[in-house]
Amino acid sequence: MFFGILMWSVFIYAFRRGGWEEKLAITGVTVSAYLSVLLREPSEDPFGQVEVQVLSVDIALLVILLIVAFPSRKYWPLWVVAMQGMTLLAHFLPLMPNMLPWTYYNAEALWSYPTLVVLAFGIYNHHKAKISAGLATS
């Protein structure tokens, strides 16, 4: 529940104060969050094997974030791409012997929160730069 509130708060903030990079990134994060829930297959051991559908959603999000990062002159997209890369690596934890399933779950979900925080700081800095340049009002 906290993640949903934080995600939608950043979403609204991005569309009120952010630039195209922030808007595209938070849209990708929001869509991927919902797709991950919808595509998760119910099973008796949900984190005991690699979830291919959720992995594919995370790969698609990484591509979107790379599309944002390559032309951007801002710092935050690289941080967000790195965190998404760590999420992708977490998908392969079930392949390690004796790995506890909750470790996979925590490693996969761990990077979602700092991603939103970094994105919120990116939106703040974008808006601050617009105000400094005289292109926006507070």
Q: State the pLDDT at residue 110.
A: 85
The model's pLDDT over 89-132, given as tens digits with 9 standing for 90+, comes to 988 888 888 877 778 778 878 889 999 999 999 999 999 999 99
CA distances (Å), origin 81, targets 39, 41, 67: 22, 26, 10
Burial of 39 (0-12, 13-18, 19+ CB in 10 A): middle
Asked whether residue 136 carries a pLDDT value surpassing 80, the answer given is no
